[in-house]
Amino acid sequence: MADAALREQICILAKSLFDRGLTGGSTGNISARTAEGGILVSPTGTSFGRLDPARLSHFDRSGRLIDGDPPTKEMPLHAAFYDTRSSAGAVVHLHSCHSVAWSMVPGVDLDNFLPPLTPYAIMKLGKVKLLPFYVPGDPAMGEAVRGLAGKRSAVMLANHGPVVAGKDVEAACNAVEELEDTARLAMMTRGLHPNALTPAQINDVVTDFGVVWPD
């Protein structure tokens, strides 16, 4: 995709997330790989509702900031996904309410954060790792993602928010929406003993859609 169209797409999809309450205020950050192998990313302190295509932070392929405003403080987190997953074309981080709520529920599975309630979460996210709490901007989050060796496309930062990589901006946004919706379902049905997908049904989804589902 041409640079100008990619800039537009980042801002349009970020605004869509903001308008639907998926991240508020000046929270969250979003990035995408350019055709030249660089990265466009939301500047620090900006609102998803009002990103300016012309002011996105622009890194060249060697990681040098070549134009735009100063980048998100979560750049190490975004870079960790690009460096460990060659398939990553975009990364989105939100402060989405229900997934943050679910991250604080005692006993949540650290290796498989989302319960298997619906097929699309499995198809679009695989297993989501719950990482511990870090202070926003702590580069240790990037190190934690590097420690996953590219095996996960999505992580949840406890008490903070999800971070999801996708092949492009649309795929990353679709996947993070699925993460939030599933966490919402988990919160809604908590204590109601919902009929989750069975291991055989999970296996069918994983097999039919070629999902990477680590043991």
Shortest Å distance, C-beta 169 to ligand 13P: 16
Q: Going by DSSP bridges, is the β-strand pair 90-93/65-67 parallel, antiparallel, or unpaired?
A: unpaired
Residue among 8, 120, 134, 177 flagged as catalytic: 120
Shortest Å distance, C-beta 161 to ligand 13P: 7
Q: Which residue lies nearer to ligand 13P by CB, 42 or 182? A: 42
Q: Which residue lies nearer to ligand 13P by CB, 63 or 214? A: 63
Residues near ligand 13P (CB under 6 A): 26-29, 42, 44-45, 72-74, 93, 95, 136
Q: Which residue lies nearer to ligand 13P by CB, 16 or 44? A: 44
The full DSSP string for 84-140 is: H-TT--EEEE---HHHHHHHTSTT--SSS-S-S-SHHHHHHH-SPEEE----TT-TH
Region class of 45: left (phi > 0), else alpha (psi between -120 and 50), else beta: left
Residue among 74, 177, 178, 180 flagged as catalytic: 74
* CB-based contact 95:74 (threshold 8 Å): no
Q: Going by DSSP bridges, is the β-strand pair 154-157/129-131 parallel, antiparallel, or unpaired?
A: parallel
**What H or E segment, with its residue span, contains residue 201?**
helix 199-208
Q: Which residue lies nearer to ligand 13P by CB, 69 or 168? A: 69
Q: Which residue lies nearer to ligand 13P by CB, 141 or 186? A: 141
Shortest Å distance, C-beta 85 to ligand 13P: 20
| Residue in this structure with the two tokens 């290796």, named with its chain if needed | 111
Decide if 82 is catalytic: no
Residue 144 and residue 130: Cα distance in Å, rounded?
11
- Residue nearest to ligand 13P according to CB distances in the complex: 72
Both tokens of 202, joined, read 């999970």
C-alpha triplet 149, 152, 158: angle, nearest 5°? 105
Decide if 74 is catalytic: yes
| Residue in this structure with the two tokens 């095996």, named with its chain if needed | 151
Shortest Å distance, C-beta 42 to ligand 13P: 6
Shortest Å distance, C-beta 74 to ligand 13P: 5
Q: Give the residue numbers marked as catalytic.
A: 74, 120
